[in-house]
Amino acid sequence: MGIGLSFFIFVTKKNWRDIAILTFIISLLWGFVSIKLIIPYFSQGQYIYSPHLKFNIFDLIYKLISPSIKLKTVFISLLSFLFLPVFASSIYPALFLHFAHRFLMPGSQLWEIGFHYNIEIAPTLAVASVLGLAIIKRKLGIKLSYSLALLLIVVSIFLHRFFFKSPLGLAYNTAFYNHTKNFAFLDNMISKIPKNASVVAQNNLSSRFLHQDVWILRENYKQYNADYILFDLREGQNPINFLGMKDPKKLFETVKKDESYQLFYHKGDQYIFKKK
């Protein structure tokens, strides 16, 4: 993103080209330091987002456009902004670098629009839309630019409501609030933990303890020496991922037999173990 921004500055502001060059250098250095040094230091020597590439132009092009979900992602991203960014050519490098970084990765979750990866490029597309409108206003007149701005709002609302069915819709969905009330039993569980206690808990519970010492529950729980260990053994509460445990029920049996902890609370599928 920093390198794409440096190209944008270089093209649009001739008297800022020294800033553009400095932005490019800093971004390049930061990318190298973070990818080669900082991230591997904290992830046991790994950087999982490195592209798997053969240095072949045809292989590169193929991986940028195949499978078709990649082209769909670009199309939907631009459609969300009424294709106005297309008129702002100065933003092309930033857009290309963003999508190339995602599409050359092996993980298909990066290619789609259903995850958080589009958040990074959304502000750039918003700025590019304003630039596109400015170009249209200058070349084709103010009335057309105003009409397109209004159409952009209409299209955005339509996509939000009927196509994406985005999370913002929960704000006016009464079923969401009714569903939230169904989790009162978890509130009762959380209330058993003192505010100054250290906690090890599953992903769906750990966010409740962000104002105190808390760690994600996994097989190495003993190294944290936490005051309390929480389990929510309902199905689907802790899918296999980079941060969570592999088998919640197996780990539960391990903690249950751990002589350092004793069962402190149990109701339904919820358990709290307290350090002796």
pLDDT in tens, 57-66: 888 888 889 8
DSSP letters, 109-132, are GGTSSSSGGGGTTHHHHHHHHHHH
Q: Give the containing element (helix H, strand E) for 272.
A: strand 270-275
Q: Answer for the pair 135, 87: CB distance below 8 angstroms, yes or no.
A: yes
For residue 241, what pLDDT band results from cuts at 50, 70 and 90? low
pLDDT tens digits, one per residue of 146-163? 999 999 999 999 988 888
Mean pLDDT of the chain: 88
82, pLDDT greater than 60: yes
Backbone angles phi, psi at 215, to 5 degrees: -135, 150
Smallest CA-to-CA distance from 5 within 94, 84, 79, 86 is with: 94
Region 233-240: mean pLDDT is 71
Q: What is the pLDDT of residue 108?
A: 76
133-136 long-range CB contacts below 8 Å, 24 or more apart? 133/84, 135/87, 135/88, 136/84, 136/87
- Percent with pLDDT over 90 in the chain: 56
Sheet containing strand 228-232, edge to edge, reads 214-216, 199-201, 228-232, 270-275, 261-267
Q: What is the pLDDT of residue 149?
A: 93
Q: What is the pLDDT of residue 244?
A: 57
Q: What is the pLDDT of residue 209?
A: 93
CA atoms within 13 A on the CB side of 236: 0
**Residue 266 CB partners (closer than 8 Å, separation 6+):** 272
For residue 200, what pLDDT band results from cuts at 50, 70 and 90? very high
4-13, 19-28, 102-111, 209-218, range with the lowest pLDDT:
102-111
Q: What is the pLDDT of residue 174?
A: 84
Which pTM was predicted?
0.68
pLDDT tens digits, one per residue of 170-179? 888 888 888 7
Domain range list for the chain: 1-48, 50-182, 185-275
pLDDT tens digits, one per residue of 111-123? 888 778 888 899 9
